[in-house]
Structure 1
């Protein structure tokens, strides 16, 4: 897991993608975990993409994280 304190060691990372598991047997994803994963890239200017909350029926849980979708891509892919 990334942390702001460890951000100086991840300068070579261009993109962080997170998302919950989907399909039968999918485990729930902790919203605090997703936010922690998101916060370091946002604070350090790295693109963040949140795929889904997941679950057995992912279409019901959606992709919103704190009221928005996170569809950022690295500058090279833009």
Structure 2
């Protein structure tokens, strides 16, 4: 597994390590990267298919959130996104809202480009601060 490799080998400064957390059922994946010595550790919360509840983002630098796309896409709830955003702000983690996906924030199914990436009429495109020069 990749975790075991990175526990025993130096992680190059240009490698950003991330994991996907699409549902509250897989939040334990955060523990796979939290203690690794990577320049940037990030979470991909996409496609977000459930509320993640409370998150411990210690050791995490960046969270990307996005809805699912495609014919059989499941709708993402705005409250789920706002829950993550609020926790990122509180824990000083960069928050990046990528897209609504097939289902818009208004609950209407349409082309993901039409749904866009506005959250509360604003784009959220934060990036992590780099700890070391690369």
TM range (shorter): 0.7 to 0.9
Aligned twin of 1:18:
65
Q: TM-score, normalised by structure 1?
A: 0.82
Q: Greater helix percent: which structure?
A: 1
TM-score normalized by structure 2? 0.50
How many pairs does the alignment contain? Answer: 73
Counterpart residue number, 1:58:
112
Q: Gapped runs of 5+ residues in structure 2?
A: 1-51, 103-109
Gaps of 5+ in 1: none
Task: Answer 1 or 2: higher relative contact order, Cα 8 Å, separation at least 6.
Answer: 1
Task: Report runs of 4+ in structure 1 exceeding 6 Å deviation.
Answer: none
Equivalent pair of 1:52/1:62 in contact (CA under 8 Å) = yes
Aligned position for 2:83: 36
Shift of 1:24: 1.5
CA RMSD of aligned residues (A): 1.7
CA drift at 1:18: 0.6
- The answer (yes or no) to whether the contact 1:2–1:40 under 8 Å persists in 2 is no
Q: Which one has a bigger Cα radius of gyration? A: 2
Contact 1:14 1:46 in 2 (8 A): yes
